[in-house]
């Protein structure tokens, strides 16, 4: 059964980014019969800590040292997270902008899945090579301010370039971004921004 993986990165019940993902996914289901939707809510599921065991496992593997039992256990948890992603034919990420970047729980997931030998390789002669098969990826980014140009009042959206870089690094070469913002401010402006983004999401779903 083909699979869509949805990573939900907002903890809020009334999350705008999650509502955007729901609008997209409900249209996607209408046009993609028989697809399985796997949702990872990084706030509700307990993510393994990316702690000293996991970090040391990474360094041990990079230098070809055998892993301790604790390091192997930590490594096995990371591998499960990677498998869950790599089984997906489509990827949807819904996230708020937090302090120009992304929520720390989402970053925790990224630190877990960006692993040598699992999602990328390095060869001193040829450099870095992604290991995941390319596939359609949609990122729905909600922000209090309007970052449609990448800037707002002299401040920079760092979430979009960061996500483009890190996802490209593991093999997702062309993520599609839909921004929803501003989500704060005058009700008319907020609702116009939301309507526009939701319309784009519903239009995108049938051919995603
Ligand atoms: C901790 C935190 C940091 C935030 N930082 C920013 C920011 O840097 N820029 C911005 O435009 N909005 C910022 N916001 C506002 C959120 O991006 C906005 O409320 C958005 O709609 C949240 O997405 P959600 O509704 O999916 O949770 C921040 C909100 C929180 C809670």
Q: Above 90 in pLDDT, residue 132?
A: yes
pLDDT(1) > 90? yes
* C-alpha 140 – ligand 1 centre gap (Å): 13
Q: In what order do the strands lie in the sheet with 176-180?
A: 36-41, 3-8, 90-96, 137-142, 176-180
pLDDT of residue 14: 97
Confidence of residue 9 (pLDDT cuts 50, 70, 90): very high
Q: Which atom of ligand 1 is nearest to the CA of 152?
A: 11
Domain ranges (residues) in the chain: 3-207
CA of 186 to the centre of ligand 1 (A): 16
- What is the pLDDT averaged over residues 26-48? 97
**What residues pair up with 129 in beta bridges, in sequence order?**
121
What is the mean pLDDT of the segment spanning 124-141? 98
Segment 51-88, tens digit of pLDDT: 999 999 999 998 999 999 999 999 999 999 999 999 99
Locate the ligand 1 atom nearest the alpha carbon of residue 11 and give its number: 27
Asked whether the bond before 182 is cis by omega within 30 degrees of 0, the reply is yes
Mean per-residue pLDDT, 31-49: 96
Rounded to whole angstroms, what are the CA distances from 86 to 81, 82, 115, 136? 9, 6, 13, 12
**CA-based torsion, 136, 142, 145, 146: positive or negative:** positive
3-207 under CATH 3.30.9.10, yes or no: no
Substitution candidate for ligand 1 out of 97, 148, 149, 156 with most atoms within 8 A of CB: 97
pLDDT higher than threshold 90 for residue 20: yes
For residues 25-42, average pLDDT: 98
Q: Which residues pair with 5 in a beta bridge?
A: 38, 91
Residue 52: exposure state from Cβ atoms within 10 A (0-12, 13-18, ≥19): exposed
Which pLDDT tens digit goes with each residue over 144-194?
999 989 999 999 999 999 999 999 999 999 999 999 999 999 999 999 999
* Ligand 1 atom at minimal distance to the Cα of residue 19: 26
**Residue closest to 133 by CA, chosen among 170, 164, 165, 162:** 170
* Mean pLDDT score of the chain: 97
Rounded to two decimals, the pTM is 0.97
| CA–CA gap between residue 24 and residue 70 (Å, rounded) | 40
| CB of 183 closer than 6 angstroms to any ligand 1 atom | yes
CB atoms within 10 A of CB 173: 13
Please work out whether the CB of residue 97 comes within 6 Å of at least one atom of ligand 1.
yes
Residue 139: band (very low, low, confident or very high) from pLDDT cuts 50, 70, 90: very high
Residue with CA closest to ligand 1 atom 8: 99
- Gyration radius from the chain CA atoms: 18
Ligand 1 atom at minimum distance from 181 CA: 21
Is 116 near ligand 1, meaning CB less than 6 Å away? no
């Amino acid at each position: 059964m083909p699979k869509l993986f949805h990573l939900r990165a907002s903890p809020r019940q009334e999350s705008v980014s999650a509502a955007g993902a729901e609008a997209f996914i409900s249209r996607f289901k209408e046009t993609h019969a028989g697809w399985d939707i796997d949702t990872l809510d990084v706030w509700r599921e307990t993510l393994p800590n990316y702690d000293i065991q996991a970090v040391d496992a990474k360094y041990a593997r990079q230098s070809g040292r055998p892993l301790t039992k604790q390091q192997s256990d930590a490594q096995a948890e990371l591998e499960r997270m990677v498998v869950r992603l790599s089984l997906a034919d489509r990827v949807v990420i819904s996230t708020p902008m937090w302090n120009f970047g992304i929520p720390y729980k989402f970053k925790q997931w990224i630190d877990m899945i960006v692993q040598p030998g699992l999602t990328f390789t390095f060869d001193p002669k040829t450099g870095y090579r992604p290991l995941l098969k390319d596939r359609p990826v949609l990122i729905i980014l909600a922000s209090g301010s309007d970052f449609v140009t990448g800037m707002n009042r002299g401040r920079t959206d760092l979430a979009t370039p960061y996500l483009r870089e890190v996802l490209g690094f593991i093999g997702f070469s062309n993520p599609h971004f839909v921004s929803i913002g501003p989500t704060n401010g005058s009700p008319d402006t907020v609702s116009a921004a939301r309507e526009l983004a939701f319309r784009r999401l519903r239009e995108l779903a049938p051919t995603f």
